[in-house]
Structure 1
């Protein structure tokens, strides 16, 4: 057995791409060695720094095991004629490398064929890795990749490959990728090492590079950075660095030998909003913020270095100087922006394009302001307290910060700046400070959530404005035919739709998805944008399918419901997010009971029978021309004509349970409703044990089909129980 090391050395890789590429490369190597029978259950370790991706696969076979396999040839009718081998038989024997006498006859479902058992000698691991790894390396996905040699016939990679290491124990694997030949020589830290590092074998990979000032394990670098940040912060009494996972992930992938330094800035800059200061430090300089014991921002910052320190303070002074300039810019833009209040900026939105075919942000604001008011009205009718005036004004002002100098310079502050300005300009907006703060919070939050891990807007007004904004975008893009497909979603419509579902779910907004998006589409009527909409008007159906998919994702991945529960609930109704969650919770609560499992299996049987009847053109609705609602009221008539006592018993049980289920559904008491449905187990089981539905007698068959149809249609308002997976199904 042998260990294998692959290291790909490059120019600096963008930090955001490293983690996924490292994991993919590790998986590709693992799959390769298992597929080629070099290992079973191989243990793979993966490493990365800004300049390298590496994989160590342990305990590989040095060669494939020899195997015997049976090669199939032509049929015996083709291989033999008059008992003598034909040219086809000779050709097969030559191809298989065996004598004609070694050929055997094999019977298969398709007839009799000739075959040969041949021994395949295993290839060496070095030969296999040398041949197949270049394809795996070239197959690693990058959001952006490049050529770095003349001509476009060479391989692409994220950055130019400068060296490669491929070792099987202490032997070099003759691997080549785009003109770079693998060896046993890696590279140490650019500044803190002498450059070239010779690796004796895979087991010494980490230690050898550590001696060259390179920490190859991502987890080790994160630990080292945390310890360095802690140590630097302890020099200030009562201070602590502000945890920021995304920033930490970034600096981990920007360094090979990290350390940290503490810098300071003039406390006068603390007069600027904290969000502005932190954004400048975090997004523009990759600095960690420092806060005091009360959680307030302190006039200090922490920078992570890719070196062993700053003994003379030169790096610290340089960072402080750069940060001071950035803070001065922010303060200048803040003061400049106050010359116009947000109301005056509404008109300026006419010159800011939202989307080339959907008009300006002014057009968008007018549309979703009306939509937000409609949603607010629905919420209020449902008994939810909503400040309609706050919704109306916040929607109007929500995009105005796009015209500010601060957002132009620091685009990450979009929305945040608008919220801060609304709070700061209360009197100028003709409202008291309480209302100004409420409007500011709505504007501040209305882009939320930016991911499923992000929080939703804090207030009900913010939730309504955020839903209206996202719905307007989705409706317009779908009407243009710009529908996400596969991995392509240039307008982040999936993220917007996920946000709509999450907001409605967490704020329990009693709104219909279909109505909301129909209203959003209606706001485009008569506009220039409508003239550019797709000719086939399938917008409503496409959006409904899209939102069902997003709701499905939310229920499974975020709420954790089992897939068959989600299928059952959404098959009934995927239009009301809050209601779907309640029904999924109810089904989940009783899903494991014996009665429910039995009834679910029976529902599947009922639907199969009804489908069979429809295929045979004996569907009850076709025979009687009645709708399902009218059939329910005639169960007593069918009970009188029932041939079997089990049939009459099921009718009585259904008639008894049906109104109670309806009452429970009306009160949204879905768990009670599902339990009542599960209580039908005994009469349902008895019915199917004794009664044949698809009989020749048309009157009896129709009555029994109508009974099944009534049961299925009545209880499908909760969920399609036939979707529940049981042992019986």
Structure 2
């Protein structure tokens, strides 16, 4: 390895630019002091043992100096035109050949972010709408800058840096201007499962809006990722949406988000090429369910059957799915739930077989005069505990709800031990099928327990 140096005057450039040049373009290591401040030195790892005359070091320093001079030139040239003045230039930057320009995208994202602000406000989460609107307006303008054309990996970051130094609208308080700059800087985040989410709520809203708009447009055109093919990185962007919603604990539903994202394309040139609404929603729901499954398993580390069971109940509200997964994980070791998992599988099979034979359950279950005692006991359990479970569920208190459901084991076991569901008497049989259907529905509001692996954890 060779330790090189560069002129400290280059430290006037943003650290992000210098590190990108050194790390990504020259494959050097940037060097910081103990406090994390960048020093005017770099480390180059070379496949040579020595450099006695310093020729290799000087050569590397010369190359780096040229790259830094280019970066400084681009930075200074870009300042001659403000981000706001660059907005019109986005009309000439193509987003996707069928989906228009980045100017069109900017307008859609602004509209979608306004919708997101309103949804969050209705659910008690306050976002500064002016910050989001201005950040969404300027977020893509750095695509027209020389610095981003040269260092494409800095898109978003450059916009945030320029927004900070250009002061934007001087009538705004400094804190607001900085908040706009930060939201622009962060809006591509997270770019991987290891990357952090945007720092602010405003940055989070912009990040979600930008990604949802891209996914909606591509899916509406039928450009769905398949196998290893994902040319528009839609999986990564959907992973980003899930991670932001999860970590910021945002009360958003994925279906609503993606429905509204699609409406942004109404009356556009691309709309006549779109797949129908039903096909769009079905493919979007399948796609996001896969992304949510990936997040729960690979990022959060939940067991396969926990993930399958909670997604089997509902996979639309990310924060709620996580809360249910945590509750299920905590009760899964209980023998009651192993037994209930087996009972749910049995109920599902009986109901499926009855359906295949054209045997319908009664409209609702009741305690018939000639019902077996075990049947009456199970019906009584449902009446007494069902309302309490529902009350817990509405309050999202999933652990006590599951602990209450665990008490169903005894009446369920006795019912299956003593009662023949498919009785000869049509009225009795229909009533028992209705009882099983009601019970299965009761169990499946938090998690689909028929997905639980009852022998050995998966």
TM superposition score normalised by structure 2: 0.97
- C-alpha separation between the residues in 1 aligned to 2:278 and 2:377? 49
Question: Structure 1 residue 685 and structure 2 residue 426: aligned?
Answer: no
Structure-2 separation of matches of 1:683 and 1:547: 38
2:298 aligned residue: 557
Segments ≥4 residues shifted beyond 6 Å: none
Displacement of 1:426: 2.0
Of the three residues 694, 697, 700, the one matched with 2:422 is: 694
CA deviation string 1:591-618 (max 9, x = no partner): 1111111111111111111111111111
1:122 match: none
**Aligned partner of 1:488 among 226, 229, 236:** 229
Structure 2 residue corresponding to 1:288, chosen from 29, 32, 38:
29
CA apart distance, 1:714:
2.4
Are the structure 2 counterparts of residues 688 and 477 from structure 1 closer, same or farther at C-alpha, using a change threshold of 3 Å? same
Are the structure 2 counterparts of residues 400 and 490 from structure 1 closer, same or farther at C-alpha, using a change threshold of 3 Å? Answer: same
In 2, the alpha carbon distance for the partners of 1:728 and 1:685 equals: 21
For the pair 1:364 / 2:105, whether they are aligned, the reply is yes
In structure 2, the residue matched to 1:419 is: 160
Question: What is the correspondence of 1:26-37 to structure 2 with a 5 Å cutoff?
Answer: none
Q: Work out whether residues 448 and 456 of structure 1, in 8 Å CA contact, stay in contact via their aligned partners in 2.
A: yes
> 8 Å contact 2:169–2:177 — kept in the other structure?
no
Checking the alignment, whether the CA contact within 8 Å between 2:239 and 2:291 is kept in structure 1 is yes
1:549-601 per-position Cα deviation (integer Å, ceiling 9, x unaligned): 11111111111111111111111111111111111111111011111111111
Equivalent residue for 2:139, pick from 371, 384, 398: 398
Which of 311, 320, 335 is the matching residue for 2:61? 320
What's the CA shift string for 1:99-143, capped at 9, x where partnerless?
xxxxxxxxxxxxxxxxxxxxxxxxxxxxxxxxxxxxxxxxxxxxx
Q: Give the structure, 1 or 2, with the largest relative contact order (CA under 8 Å, sep 6 or more).
A: 2
Distance 1:514 1:429 in 2: 39
Change (3 A) 1:642 1:347: farther
User: Which runs of no fewer than 5 residues in structure 2 stay unpaired?
Assistant: none
- Higher strand residue share: 1
Q: Distance in 2 between matches of 1:537 and 1:644?
A: 46
Cα shift at 1:383: 1.4
Tell me if structure 2 keeps the 8 A contact 1:420–1:444. Answer: yes
Which residue is equivalent to 1:668? 396
Aligned to 1:659: 387
Q: Which residue of 1 aligns with 2:309?
A: 568
Q: What is the rounded CA distance, in whole Å, between the counterparts of 2:167 and 2:448 in structure 1? A: 52
1:709 maps to what in 2?
437
1:585 to 316, 322, 326: 326
Q: What is the alpha-carbon distance in structure 1 between the residues aligned to residue 169 and residue 245 of structure 2?
A: 33
Answer whether contact 1:425 1:436 (CA < 8 A) is retained.
no
> 1:308 matched to which residue of 2?
49
In 2: Cα distance, 1:536 partner to 1:522 partner: 10
CA distance in 1, matches of 2:285, 2:142: 32
1:225-374 alignment runs, 5 A limit: 260-374=1-115
Alignment partners' CA distance in 2, 1:429 and 1:534: 45
- 1:507 aligns with 248
Q: Gaps (5+ residues) in structure 1?
A: 1-259
Structure 1 residues 728 and 296 mapped into 2: Cα distance closer, same or farther (>3 Å)? closer
Q: CA deviation at 1:535?
A: 6.1
Preserved contact between residue 343 and residue 429 of structure 1 (Cα < 8 Å): no
Bigger Rg, structure 1 or 2: 1
What is the rounded CA distance, in whole Å, between the counterparts of 2:437 and 2:43 in structure 1? 69
What are the within-5 Å matches in structure 2 for residues 400-479 of structure 1?
400-428=141-169, 430-479=171-220
Aligned residues: 457
Structure 1 residue 268: deviation in Å? Answer: 1.2
More helix by share: 2
Q: 1:530 to 1:544 in 2, by over 3 A?
A: same
Q: CA RMSD in A?
A: 1.6
Q: Distance in 2 between matches of 1:350 and 1:727?
A: 60
